[in-house]
Amino acid sequence: MDIDHYLARIRYQGSVQPTAATLRALHEAHMLAVPFENLDIGLGHAIQLDQASLWGKIVERRRGGFCYELNGLFALLLRELGFRVELLSAGVANNLGGFNPDFDHLTLLVHLEEDWLADVGFGESFRQPLRLQPDLLQKQEWGRYRLMRDGEDWLFEEWRDAWKPGYRFTLQSRTMSDFSARCLYHQTSPESGFTRHSTCSLATPYGRITLSDMRLITTRHGVREERHVANQEEYQALLLEHFDIVL
């Protein structure tokens, strides 16, 4: 892996020593530079999870991706820098009050003096990793978060007028191939939200900007604005302007 090329992709110029401070800085830089997006699914382009495919898409072609791609490649970067990283399986909270199956989401466990939950692939979520400590309120500039524990299960929650579950996970280490079947499901099943809606979303220094189908949603310092995108020509122009993406 060409570490310098990857760091340039996320516009990172800080320390690369495997410390908690470096992890926090890399995590936030990644969130601000690489969008969460599923545009390839709508285009009918297969998403591959091998290192060469992830590198080519995210670093060489300056695209984004969804959890398997973003966290998969970020884990490789962290390992190259000397971090101890494990891939974890998570089930995302659903509208029925439960959780989707295992391998629905890929998140990361990073071992340092204390353990951290890292996740650059969950859309609008924590910008810096969370300490893996149950019941600890963890405040960041853009939100409040906590991790809860029930036996072997852990639960990531975010405060939005009340505590809302994000996903449930265990600390069992996984391999990238374990996520292949669920990744294929999300690309092909009519039940998957990724086949029914397209999204491209990026954290910004002032909030977030998102193209959700034909809507442009901008949040600036807590103020949300939304407008309709007139046509595909404008849609393509917005992808280029805000996400540096040319399809």
Catalytic positions, please? 67, 105, 119
Q: Is 82 left (phi over 0), alpha (psi -120 to 50) or beta?
A: left
Measured between its terminal Cα atoms, the distance across the chain in Å is 25
Taking alpha carbons only, the member of 216, 165, 181, 209 closest to residue 64 is 209
d(CA 188, CA 20): 38
d(CA 213, CA 206): 22
On whether the CB atoms of residues 158 and 125 are closer than 8 A, the answer is yes
d(CA 69, CA 234): 27
On whether the CB atoms of residues 87 and 106 are closer than 8 A, the answer is yes
On whether the CB atoms of residues 39 and 247 are closer than 8 A, the answer is yes
On whether the CB atoms of residues 214 and 235 are closer than 8 A, the answer is yes
